[in-house]
Structure 1
């Protein structure tokens, strides 16, 4: 498993006490917008340099002293000054952090929207065949059982509006995004900050657990990232993908809550110390056993007769 970084290691990058203090001004946000929009026009958002005079004109500030003050508040963190000696023309361009902020502003990430759903899904739960329900609320698509969330992923309001708030389409988008997020976690990469993630297998039951066999991920920077049923950990394994492909089925077309082996009935405990699980994957008459260790890695597969 990935080694934990020490607190000293994690602090090797300087962090401002209040990184958003510099953004608490409309003029500074307009500066970021102007650089971002010019980059969008030229197709080079990260590289586009805008000369001082053009940038001031785009923002609409006549007072040079006032404009220079706001530039200084952003310089170094959200934009950088470029000299002709660096190659190209002198001026200002967005840093990576500046691009990220400008992008969020551009897509109206905080845009409010109506609630979409809830609606029942045409699939029963593992526990009692009661229907799963889906809803899009507060920019998150959530699939639940009896009010307990099983799957959840953000879908930007701009993306939801582009799909005319059709919940069926939003479910498809959320499923794809959720798969990608989980794949990063399983590869040991935090989907948010890209720091190291430690994975752990969790076996247990109780009234607060929908599944008995689950995994979780913990980022060295962000902390707990959540997890899912252990069956999800084998979704993209080549042996599993091939099994379904042989029958003309592309697993990528299935929404994760519809995958038949993401269920406790498909899981068997092979070893206790350390924990090793077998997940039985079936497609028509063909069966595949997939073995997962306590770090949520596939360690072996076996075709079953």
Structure 2
């Protein structure tokens, strides 16, 4: 098979830090070393290092020379060599944590399950499901907010990325709250311009459907609302898509507005009841002010009072205004 110009095959032959890292991990003994050092690691412990002989014994490698070769390959990349022994470096901890978070303790799934919450569009019961690393929230009656699963006729209200490990020892309601909180934290980090996965810079944008159909799910963009926020990392390609209301509710003026009306936006979001209260009481309306360049007004209303945030194309806040009843 010929290599196309600019293909990943060219990158493999050219080498580089990322390719070197993949090559280092492509060995059973090296992976066993990383897992063994992770098992001995204890947060806040004064010393979690292992001596060479103890590490080799735990890994189960009889050939000292071969073991030393593989350990040397990992040193200064994923393993730190100290006077007291060997331990995982920060990069090594990240690798093992990623594997554990991505696989969990066992295969995790959750069949569609009704939870104690209602659809904000029609008031019907909602249900959640977990599949392939995603928590899906569905309405049992209406078309929901958007669709991206052509094989499912249920209306989708939300979709959250969540590691399988998060499902351990949690009820369906707790799984939903964990997914909501995880995405909430990711979104806020990316609004600030820092990727929560790799610390890289963030590209932010407002997307607006030019031919939006207002009756239910739009056949052009697949959303109930005309606009959405998209944030993605320029380095590791981490991403999140959000409602514009969620972007506006991060601004300190909106946080203070809600607080004055008895609602804490940034506390208690691990609780399903508090999430429900936030969604019920701090409703938002989005108005398109300009298509070129995109400008949107997001208005949050509580107790008859309103606060309006105007967002630019890159999601920066252009102005804030309040109106009291």
Q: Shared topology, TM-score over 0.5?
A: yes
Shift of the alpha carbon at 1:214?
A: 0.9
Residue of structure 1 in register with 2:159 after alignment: 152
Q: What is the distance in 1 between the residues matched to 2:99 and 2:239?
A: 25
Residue of structure 2 in register with 1:3 after alignment: none
Shift of the alpha carbon at 1:249?
A: 1.8
Segments of 5+ residues of structure 2 without an aligned counterpart are: 1-10, 139-143, 145-152, 213-217, 269-273
1:56 lines up with 2:75 in the alignment: no
Q: What is the distance in 2 between the residues matched to 1:98 and 1:184?
A: 23
Q: What is the distance in 1 between the residues matched to 2:71 and 2:37?
A: 12
**1:188, 1:196 within 8 Å by CA — same for their partners in 2?**
yes
CA-based RMSD of the aligned residues comes to: 3.1
**1:261, 1:281 within 8 Å by CA — same for their partners in 2?**
yes
Q: What is the distance in 2 between the residues matched to 1:238 and 1:274?
A: 25
Q: Aligned in 2, Cα 1:297/1:192: closer, same or farther, shift over 3 Å?
A: same
Segments of 5+ residues of structure 1 without an aligned counterpart are: 1-10, 83-88
Q: Aligned in 2, Cα 1:140/1:230: closer, same or farther, shift over 3 Å?
A: same
Shift of the alpha carbon at 1:149?
A: 4.8
For residue 42 of structure 2, give the secondary structure of its aligned residue in structure 1: helix
Indicate which of 32, 45, 63 corresponds to 1:43.
Answer: 45
1:299 lines up with 2:306 in the alignment: no
Q: Aligned in 2, Cα 1:107/1:175: closer, same or farther, shift over 3 Å?
A: closer
Q: What is the distance in 1 between the residues matched to 2:314 and 2:109?
A: 40
**1:116, 1:167 within 8 Å by CA — same for their partners in 2?**
no
Q: What is the distance in 2 between the residues matched to 1:106 and 1:191?
A: 18
Q: Aligned in 2, Cα 1:273/1:194: closer, same or farther, shift over 3 Å?
A: same
Q: Aligned in 2, Cα 1:271/1:42: closer, same or farther, shift over 3 Å?
A: closer
1:93 lines up with 2:87 in the alignment: yes
**1:152, 1:178 within 8 Å by CA — same for their partners in 2?**
no
For residue 279 of structure 1, give the secondary structure of its aligned residue in structure 2: strand
Higher relative contact order (CA 8 A, sep 6+): 1
How high is the TM-score relative to the length of structure 1?
Answer: 0.78
Shift of the alpha carbon at 1:134?
A: 2.0
